[in-house]
Amino acid sequence: MNIRDPDRRLSEAQRTDWLRLIRSDNVGPRTFRSLVNHFGSASEALVRLPDLARRGGASRPSRLCTEAEARNELAAARRIGVSLLAPGEAGYPPHLATIDDAPPLLGARGNLDVMERPMIAIVGSRNASGAGHKFAQTLAHDLGDTGFVIVSGLARGIDQAAHRASVARGTVAVLAGGHDRIYPLEHEDLLAAVLESGGAISEMPMGHVPRARDFPRRNRLISGAAIGVVVVEAAHRSGSLITARMAAEQGREVFAVPGSPLDPRATGTNDLIKQGATLITEAADVINAVRPIIRRPVDLPAEEPEPGEPWTEEPAASDRARIIALLGPAPIGLDDLIRMANAPPAVVRTVLLELELAGRLERHGGGLVSMM
């Protein structure tokens, strides 16, 4: 499916195959895109998956999501009003579709029209100060009044304050678990209010209970859906700083609210300002910075093979050995790996895909890879 065409939709069979592929072992969003691009369809990729994993050195047969499992998830999603959307389909946030690890299928519910409007993310400390709560509420309210949708993570503290202040104008909650596994539980009422005029999104399966490692993964969706990210309060090693870092990697605007150097909840935001984040004290600061961005068209990547990059059925043993020998626990860039391996790019990508499907390769931001 070419996601440059928002009028097209996946057929029911395609949606089932896409869900089967993304729910299979060791298939993440980047791997999904590589497989569909090279094989032409998710159904063909599913056929080839076991052999690719074997060639990559998998210690056991790869688990493929069955058709029955996929259909059951689709039915469970429909029962609570969740649509599983592909990039380019109505309701899939356009800016989120542009990141290189955009979810192939995104679970969305609520007022899907809200997803099409420009979003500003507001994130910050769960243990927020009273002043932090007040500023987040004022900022969310003022930005909502000017037409922006506030996106955040439904967490305690700053997230909660931002959602509650923008409920009437439309706000989007990004969930770390499945749509039927809300965290924290005390925010079920907040989510219900959000869904009345706004929406909620998640890439996780129905029934998935969020784990600690799911929150950074969720954070990339918060920043990816937005055109700018505001960090209100954040201590050192805060999850909000992860969101800010991801926003910078995704080419989003990063804003930070200054705080007292005596308050540990402001050390992260003050450091962001030192590192080049835009200091803000009111909604107008954000609006003036993002106004030029709003006018730019959103250019979505197409799901189609790259010219000149034919699929390699099986790399030569010598090429595979040389590429694997260059990999280690320290991340390396794809371009550097291609140059050092002295192998065609398609061959290098094929070997990396095999290793990833075997559970032996980890992908990092900025096109870096490492052995696990």
Alpha carbon dihedral 10, 13, 19, 20, in 10-degree steps, equals -150
Q: Does residue 232 sit in the same domain as residue 265?
A: yes
d(CA 199, CA 209): 20
Task: Decide: 269 and 231 in contact? Cβ < 8 Å.
Answer: yes
d(CA 239, CA 327): 29
**Looking at the domain assignment, is residue 210 inside a domain?**
yes
Task: Decide: 74 and 80 in contact? Cβ < 8 Å.
Answer: no
Q: Does residue 154 sit in the same domain as residue 248?
A: yes
Q: Is residue 101 classed as helix, strand or coil in its secondary structure?
A: coil
Count CB-CB contacts under 10 A for residue 360: 19
**Looking at the domain assignment, is residue 324 inside a domain?**
yes
d(CA 311, CA 5): 25
Digit-coded pLDDT (tens) for 74-133? 999 999 999 999 999 999 999 999 999 999 999 999 999 999 999 999 999 999 999 999
**Looking at the domain assignment, is residue 299 inside a domain?**
no
Q: Does residue 49 sit in the same domain as residue 194?
A: no
E-state strands within the chain: 83-85, 106-110, 119-123, 149-152, 171-174, 199-202, 228-231, 253-256, 278-279, 332-333, 361-364, 368-371
Q: Does residue 157 sit in the same domain as residue 80?
A: no
pLDDT score, position 56: 92
**Looking at the domain assignment, is residue 307 inside a domain?**
no
Q: Is residue 261 classed as helix, strand or coil in its secondary structure?
A: coil
Residue owning tokens 């189609």: 304
Q: In which domain, by residue range, is 180 found?
A: 100-294
User: Burial of 318 by CB count in 10 Å (0-12 exposed, 13-18 middle, 19+ buried)?
Assistant: exposed
d(CA 143, CA 284): 8
**Looking at the domain assignment, is residue 95 inside a domain?**
no
Q: Does residue 276 sit in the same domain as residue 343?
A: no
Q: Give the phi and the psi of residue 166 in degrees, each rounded to 5.
A: -120, 10
Question: DSSP characters for 32-62?
Answer: HHHHHHHHSSHHHHHHHHHHHHHHTT-SSPP
CATH code, domain with 337: 1.10.10.10
d(CA 364, CA 344): 22
Please say which residue of 258, 279, 294 terminates a domain.
294
CATH code, domain with 166: 3.40.50.450
Could you tell me the two tokens for 195? 């869904």
Q: Does residue 19 sit in the same domain as residue 131?
A: no
Cβ-Cβ contacts under 8 Å for 211 (sequence gap 6 or more): none
Q: Does residue 110 sit in the same domain as residue 70?
A: no
Q: Does residue 78 sit in the same domain as residue 163?
A: no
Digit-coded pLDDT (tens) for 15-43? 999 999 999 999 999 999 989 988 999 99
Q: Does residue 252 sit in the same domain as residue 338?
A: no
Please say which residue of 230, 260, 294 terminates a domain.
294
Please say which residue of 262, 294, 326 terminates a domain.
294
Could you tell me the two tokens for 4? 């440059």
Q: Does residue 74 sit in the same domain as residue 195?
A: no
Q: Does residue 326 sit in the same domain as residue 290?
A: no
Using 50 as the pLDDT threshold, list the residues of the chain that sit under it. Answer: 1-5, 303-310
Any idea what DSSP says for residue 206?
T
Q: Does residue 79 sit in the same domain as residue 228?
A: no
Q: Tell which residue, 54, 60, 65, 63, has the closest CA to residue 22.
A: 65
- Quote the number of domains for the chain: 3
**Looking at the domain assignment, is residue 106 inside a domain?**
yes
Could you tell me the two tokens for 362? 């980890």
**Looking at the domain assignment, is residue 94 inside a domain?**
no
Amino acid identity, position 29:
P
* CA dist 33 → 22, 128, 302 (Å): 10, 39, 10
Could you tell me the two tokens for 334? 């794809």
**Looking at the domain assignment, is residue 21 inside a domain?**
yes
- Residue 81 — left, alpha, or beta (φ > 0 → left; ψ -120 to 50 → alpha)? left
